[in-house]
Amino acid sequence: MDLLQSPWIPVREDAAVSHISFEQLLCSPNRYQLSLPRDDMEFAALQLLISLAQCIFTPKDRNELVQRMRQPLAPETYRQAVEPYRAWFVLDHPQHPFMQSRGVKAKEITPIQKLFIGLPEGNNHALFNDQGEIGAVCDSCAAIALFNQASNCPSFGGGFKANLRGSAPITTFAAGDHLRDDHLREMLWFNVLSQDRVDYLLIPQYINNVPVWVDPIPAKGKMHAYEIGLLRGLFWQPARVELLATAGPQRCDACRQTAERVYSGFRKEKFVYDIEGLWPHPHSPKRWDIKKDTKERERFLSFTTQAPAWTQLNHCAFGQMHDKEGSEPSPIVTQFHQVFNIQGRRLILLVAGYRNKQASVLERRHELFSMPEDWDNKTPYVEHGIKYALAVKQELRGKLYGFAKEVGPSVHETAERQFYHATEPLIHELLRKMDYPEGKAVLDDFKDQVARLAREVFESLTAPYCHAPKGLKYFLVFKRSFEAALAKLNA
């Protein structure tokens, strides 16, 4: 299968589901929507398509970017542009298959579902045998899963390297207000950087832009992040992997389509190398510590706790700068703001990632935030609202932790979960209502609702212990302290 020529992209057009080629997608005015059974696979397919468009069709400037978003490419333009890359994106190429290595040595064959993050790799798991078991997949699903494992997931385990952004990074894309129109082609261009922005991120004279399956990473080698080119970085493969094909026809266990060839397993081989510095990946927001006016411990944002995605929204959408830490949104989001938002387009922010514990994934996160129109004028209100909600959560947790130390029950973690669950709809309502001119009134109403919910959580979790004199005493003590803290936050 050739990702640049074959019909491998699973799409839905009206009510019909089919596979189209990359050329059809970029050169057709038809409105397509990705169609895969798992949200993370769908997002990975979107990221794969964006990465292909970014590397092969980088617009020279913002004008060409806007033009490509508005009009399909001419077939001749497409074919001329992909010609130098034809041998690099073939899944079963005899010498250098897409994101794989030939001749991988492994004592055992790993079942293919190990590529599908969150599923166990073996076949003797009772919870998965009847539903969700993936024993064989088609070319399309194999390519998407291979890219997702290498780009977004934790490593395979001990001794295997993680991807360039770390163990399980957050990825953010801009959908624009066209999302309701299901126009996949437009969405790709919203998330492709123009050449001037690429040049700002990378240092052209130093980079190697050949993919790692053509020019392999040297084992035990050392390199600098600035040596990694755009294509090499977006399609970085940190492990040595080789897919194993089986002749069909057979039904794909992931997309349920019948394929002439399927993949039931793969070989994987660990090797080590070192990279100095952080590669400037265009799809992720970054965060860093500030010590003595210097950036330290710069890293890509990730989901490290059970806190919902809205708690990271200020970092993902706006960027923050404080005395001790700072953050910035992904270059994609920054470009959308500077190129498309000024044209009056609303930003629909797609936020995706995994929360993991070492090589194990604990949960999938794929969320959507519809940002307000008139972004520049409304940003301070949104930022303040999110900061206020997080400060209230911190006070709620702290006061209930103190209550628990005196009375006995550990309720602060339960309070945090309940608070997050109750306030998430309020965040989306805040973003929606920010379209109204009365930004301050909307913010004040939001703060009132957040404080009321926090009081309800506090009282519901302490009420069972107020029947005893000691419980009632400390309820009053910490209730008074909590109200004082809320008053201070509103000052």
Per-residue DSSP letters for 443-467? HHHHHHHHHHHHHHHHHHHHGGGTT
- Same domain membership, residue 121 and residue 230: yes
- Same domain membership, residue 17 and residue 155: yes
What is the distance between the alpha carbons of residues 438 and 272, in angstroms, rounded to a whole number?
56
Widest CA span in the chain: 82
Nearest to 138 by CA among 248, 235, 215: 248
Has residue 341 been placed in a domain?
no
Where a domain ends, among 249, 276, 303?
Answer: 276
- Same domain membership, residue 139 and residue 31: yes
131 confidence band (pLDDT: 50, 70, 90): very low
Neighbours of 149 (CB within 10 A): 25
| Average pLDDT in the chain | 89
Where a domain ends, among 215, 242, 276?
Answer: 276
Please report, rounded to a whole number, the percentage of residues in the chain having pLDDT higher than 90. Answer: 67
- pTM for the complete prediction? 0.92
Nearest to 142 by CA among 271, 11, 261: 261
- Same domain membership, residue 245 and residue 128: yes
Backbone dihedral angles phi then psi of residue 280, each to the nearest 5 degrees:
-80, 70
Cα 87 to chain centroid, rounded: 29
Q: Look at residue 264 and tell me whether its pLDDT is greater than 90.
A: yes
What is the distance between the alpha carbons of residues 262 and 250, in angstroms, rounded to a whole number?
7
Express each pLDDT in 203-215 by its tens digit: 776 788 999 999 9
Q: Look at residue 371 and tell me whether its pLDDT is greater than 90.
A: no
Express each pLDDT in 270-301 by its tens digit: 888 999 999 999 999 999 998 887 888 899 99
Has residue 465 been placed in a domain?
yes
Q: Look at residue 132 and tell me whether its pLDDT is greater than 60.
A: no
Has residue 317 been placed in a domain?
no
Choose from 94-108, 116-130, 131-145 the range with maximum mean pLDDT.
94-108
Has residue 299 been placed in a domain?
no
Where a domain ends, among 247, 276, 305?
Answer: 276
pLDDT at 356: 81
Has residue 345 been placed in a domain?
no
Cα angle 387, 392, 393 (rounded to 5 degrees) comes to 100
Q: Look at residue 125 and tell me whether its pLDDT is greater than 60.
A: no
DSSP annotation of 468 reads: S
- Same domain membership, residue 48 and residue 193: yes
| Helices marked H in 223-319 | 230-234, 313
Number of domains the chain contains: 2
Q: Looking at 16-30, 203-217, 240-254, 475-489, which range is the least confident one?
A: 203-217
Has residue 71 been placed in a domain?
yes
Q: Is residue 354 a contact partner of residue 361, using CB atoms and an 8 Å limit?
A: yes
Has residue 116 been placed in a domain?
yes
* Residue for token pair 């024993």: 135
Q: Is residue 143 a contact partner of residue 289, using CB atoms and an 8 Å limit?
A: no
DSSP string computed for 337-402: IIIIGGGTPPPEEEEEEEEEETTEEEEEEEEEEEPPSSHHHHHHHHHHHHHHHHHHHHHHHHHHHH
pLDDT at 221: 84
Q: Is residue 45 a contact partner of residue 72, using CB atoms and an 8 Å limit?
A: no
Has residue 323 been placed in a domain?
no
- Same domain membership, residue 208 and residue 72: yes
112 confidence band (pLDDT: 50, 70, 90): very high
For residue 479, what are the contacts with CB-CB under 8 A and spacing of at least 6? Answer: 458, 459, 462
| CATH of residue 423 | 1.10.132
Nearest to 302 by CA among 352, 263, 254, 358: 352
Q: Which domain holds residue 261?
A: 9-276
pLDDT at 205: 66
DSSP string computed for 213-247: TTSPPPTT-EEEGGGB-HHHHHT---SEEEEEEEE
